[in-house]
Amino acid sequence: MKKKKSKVTAYNNWGYAFVAPFVIVFCIFSIYPVLRTLYLSFTNLKVVGNADIIGFKNYARVLTDKFFWTALWNTVRIWIVNIVLQLGLAFLLMMVFSDVKYKMRGLAVFRIIYYLPNIIAATSIAFLFSTLLDWRYGTFNIIIKSIYDLFGAKYNPVNWIGSSATAGYTVAVIQSWMWFGNSFLMLMAGVQSINRDYFEAAAIDGAGRWTIFGKITLPLIKPIMMYVAITSLIGGLQMFDLPFLMIETASSAYGSVQTVMMYLYKFGFTTGTTQVGYASAVAYVLFLIILTVSVVELRLFRGKGDK
Amino acid sequence: MAFKIKKGILYFLLVLLALTCMLPFALMMINATRTGADIVSGFTFIPGKALKENWDTVFDYFNLFKGIWNSVLVSVPATLLCAYFSTLTAYGLAFYEFKGNKVVFGAILAFMMIPGQLSLIGFYQLCTKLHLVNSYIPLIIPAIAAPGTVFFLRQYILSSLPKSLIEAARIDGASEIYSFHKIVTPIVAPAVATMGIMAFIGNWNSYLLPMILINKTDKMTLPVMMATLKASNHINSNQGAIYLSVAISIIPILLVFVAFSKYIISSVSAGAIKE
């Protein structure tokens, strides 16, 4: 008996060997950088060289800098428009494809097409759209103008990405266009994981399609909606590629689309404005915001009805 | 009758949305063959004849094939390392009881929730210290430790790999490493393929980190190289060349998507269900 036990332990020791490469790389490239950033956030390091510990001064500066708050508001504003469109569209599609009366076909093909924009690099999307949406020479405005011309109306070209009134919304719409397919696929996966018997039992009991949707489909996919919303928020608050590449720094729209990550990039990595200590504090403030909102969001969803 | 009309309208809307997904790419393909002057003067669905001219303009400015090749050099090893070591780690965590197992798993759960930007500055500082700026090492090696992939594979292994299978192999005298390679990997292969393809797309499209780490033109990955368009006046005067650049830049990933769409779609679905 004793011998057998020691043999099992010997087997279990292989666990160390299997997990070791992960742990080593994880410590060096994940845990250390996160802790290093935390340390730097308490220093006044500019670019390189010596730095002094200055306590919470960087944090105080983040919280009192009105440009930080503008950046946070820009990020949240763009995200809200984005998530409402993205999740709304995904939700409508899910309703259409899960409807027990219409029994729509072609899901296999539609979902591939809807997912397509997801796989393309944001850098390519950024240049594609900033060229299409150029207010004077872009194909988008040219097409709208020719439609107006058809009806004899006059079109005043909208400066989609160059004016502060529209730039944020333009970015939000493009992001929704990129990601609604992803949300739709997730919601659909949730619907398909629901036991078919529920629907049949409900149908036998004479429940209408709206009752079935409201009483079975909706409650059962709520956890997935929550998951989509939280992952989207975590990603959304780190929004960078599209606004960074699409909006010219010199443009008057820049101030209305500068996101928190762009603000962090300015202090963390842009020559001339580099203040590593300060940028680190920005990273941690953003992290705390993401953490707080995720927890609140989780509570809100959990609190309503479900155990 | 009304039912059929309504259903017809729904299909029409679905097709319309599908066209919206593809329209920007269609405009891109057409405009890539037209001269800058043509594009500015009006739109037509008929392709132009300036493909060669635009091609020359693009490749005068940068060598996109070099960018594609560099992206291959980063994404392929990173994906393979991620797939192999994530499976190894997941198996180690799922099947072996050792001290620290719970700690590692806890750290994995915690880091799944921690956004990447939190490590960005420390990561860059580390790379500067280790003289790894303009090297692919910091873009490849960290793939060995991918918390999300490990988490997913651990759940998969726990639900699909019977413990008795490994015990039987032990009785037959198989070594643990042998069991892992010959018994575990074939069983988890579908899940690894699913996670691997997503890891590949993520690596391929990654912009911020390579942009910070790579500043030599001949080392730039495709997204970083594409981003230099922002500062270029040479190419900006010719929209046709920009459209062609974008088209060339998305063709490789489109081919991947065509080949693996089944895996990609199922991995998105799997990601939703696991929660």
Predicted pLDDT at B3: 86
Instruction: For A242-297, write each residue's pLDDT tens digit.
Output: 999 998 888 888 999 999 999 999 999 988 889 999 999 999 999 999 889 888 87
Q: Do A283 and B21 touch (CB under 8 A)?
A: no
pLDDT at A140 over 50: yes
The answer to whether A22 and B100 are in contact (CB under 8 A) is no
The structural domains of chain A, with segments of one domain joined by +, span 1-40, 44-303
Residue A286 is which amino acid?
Answer: L
Contact of B82 with B196, CB cutoff 8 Å: yes
- A12 contacts chain B (CB < 8 A): yes
B78 close to B143: Cβ distance less than 8 angstroms: yes
* A148 min Cα distance to partner chain B (Å): 14
* 3-state class (DSSP) for residue A236: helix
| DSSP 8-class letter at A43 | B
Helix (H) / strand (E) element for B68: namely: helix B64-95
Show the tokens assigned to A77. Answer: 């504003």
A139 touches chain B (CB under 8 A): yes
Is domain B62-231 classified as CATH 1.10.3720.10? yes
pLDDT for A4 beyond 80: no
B33–chain A Cβ distance below 8 A for any pair: no
Are the C-beta atoms of A82 and A172 separated by less than 8 Å?
yes
Q: Is residue B233 a contact partner of residue B161, using CB atoms and an 8 Å limit?
A: no
Residue A305 pLDDT level (bands cut at 50, 70, 90): very low
CB A9 within 8 A of CB A252: no
Q: Give yes or no for A271 touching B (CB within 8 A).
A: no
Fold designation for A44-303: MetI-like fold (1.10.3720)
Q: Does B271 touch chain A (CB under 8 A)?
A: yes
Higher pLDDT, B271 or A190: A190
Query: CA-to-CA distance for B160 and B156, rounded, in angstroms?
Result: 6
Q: Are A185 and A117 in contact (CB under 8 A)?
A: no
- CB contact under 8 Å between B115 and A287, yes or no, is yes
> B243 and B26 in contact (C-beta within 8 Å)?
no
* Sequence-distant (≥ 6) Cβ neighbours of residue A272 within 8 angstroms: none
Q: From the candidates B41, B121, B141, B198, which should be mutated to test the interface with A, based on the most A CB atoms within 10 A?
A: B121
- The yes-or-no verdict on residue B55 having pLDDT over 80 is yes
What percent of chain A clears pLDDT 90, i.e. is strictly above it?
53
Question: What is the distance in angstroms between the Cα of B257 and the nearest Cα belonging to chain A?
Answer: 8
Cβ–Cβ contacts within 10 Å for residue B102, how many?
11
pLDDT at B180: 93
Q: Do residues B14 and A92 touch, judged by C-beta distance below 8 A?
A: no
Element (H, E) at B96: none
Report d(CA A101, CA A94) in Å as an integer: 14
Do residues A192 and B268 touch, judged by C-beta distance below 8 A? Answer: no
| A295 vs B: CB within 8 A | no
Q: Which of B120, B137, B161, B254 to mutate to test the interface with A (most CBs of A within 10 A)?
A: B120
Give whole-number Cα distances, B53 to A18, A122, B32, B49, in Å: 55, 26, 10, 9
Q: What is the pLDDT of residue B273?
A: 64
Q: Using alpha carbons, list the distances in angstroms from residue B204 to A242, A260, B33, B70, B258.
A: 16, 24, 26, 10, 16
**Predicted-complex ipTM score:** 0.89
Q: Which of B33, B62, B105, B117 to mutate to test the interface with A (most CBs of A within 10 A)?
A: B117
B107 alpha-carbon distance from chain centroid: 24
pLDDT at position A213: 85
Task: Please state, as a whole number, how many other Cβ atoms lie within 10 Å of the Cβ of residue A109.
Answer: 11
Is A104 in contact with B42 (Cβ distance < 8 A)? no
What pLDDT band is residue B214 in, cutting at 50, 70 and 90? very high
The A residues from 168 to 227 touching B (CB cutoff 8 Å) are 177, 181-182, 185-190, 192-193, 223-224, 227
Q: How far apart are the first and last CA of chain A?
A: 45
> One-letter amino acid identity for A79?
W
Task: Report the b/e string of A239-251 with b at 16+ CB within 10 A.
Answer: bbbbbbbbbeeeb
Contact B119 A30 (CB under 8 A): yes
Q: Does A297 touch chain B (CB under 8 A)?
A: no
Rounded to an integer, the average pLDDT of B177-205 is 92
d(C-alpha A48, C-alpha B3), whole Å:
70
H helices of chain A, where?
2-26, 32-40, 57-64, 66-98, 107-115, 122-132, 139-150, 167-192, 196-204, 209-212, 218-237, 241-246, 254-257, 260-269, 276-303
Q: Which two tokens stand for residue B225?
A: 């190289």
Alpha-carbon separation of residue B264 from A89, A193, A226, B93 (angstroms): 21, 18, 22, 26
Q: What is the mean pLDDT of residues A101-125?
A: 91
The model's pTM is 0.90
State residue A1's pLDDT score. Answer: 43
Residue B130 at interface with chain A, using a CB cutoff of 8 Å: no
How much of chain B is helix, strand and coil, in % rounded to 5? 80, 0, 20
How much is the average pLDDT of B55-77? 94
What type of residue is B159?
S
pLDDT value, residue A232: 86
Tokens of A25: 């790389």
- In this complex, do B229 and A127 lie within 8 Å of one another by their Cβ atoms? yes
DSSP string, A167-226: HHHHHHHHHHHHHHHHHHHHHHHHHHTS-HHHHHHHHHTT--HHHHIIIIIHHHHHHHHH
Q: Structure tokens of A45?
A: 């390091």
Question: Which residues 6+ apart lie within 8 Å of A113 measured at CB?
Answer: A181, B18, B21, B22
A92 touches chain B (CB under 8 A): no
Strand partners, A53: A43
pLDDT at A198: 84
**What pLDDT digit, counting tens, does each position of A142-179 carry?**
999 999 999 988 888 888 988 889 999 999 999 999 99
Cα end-to-end distance, chain B, whole Å: 42
Q: Distances from the Cα of B141 to the Cαs of A29, A146, A253, B135, B223, in angstroms?
A: 9, 52, 39, 11, 20
Report which of residues B90 and B117 the model is more confident about.
Answer: B90
Q: Which of A125-134, B76-85, B230-239 has the highest mean pLDDT?
A: B76-85
- Please indicate if any CB of chain B lies within 8 Å of the CB of A10: no
The CA distance from A36 to the nearest CA of chain B, in Å, is 5
Candidates A119, A79, A91; CA nearest to A184 is A91
Residue A205 confidence (pLDDT)? 84
Neighboring chain A residues of B104 at a CB cutoff of 8 Å: 19, 22-23
Q: What is the CA radius of gyration of chain A?
A: 25
Shortest distance between the Cα of A274 and any Cα of chain B, in A, equals: 11
- Considering chain B, what is the average pLDDT of its residues? 91
What crossing angle do the helices spanning A276-303 and A66-98 adopt, rounded to 10°? Answer: 40
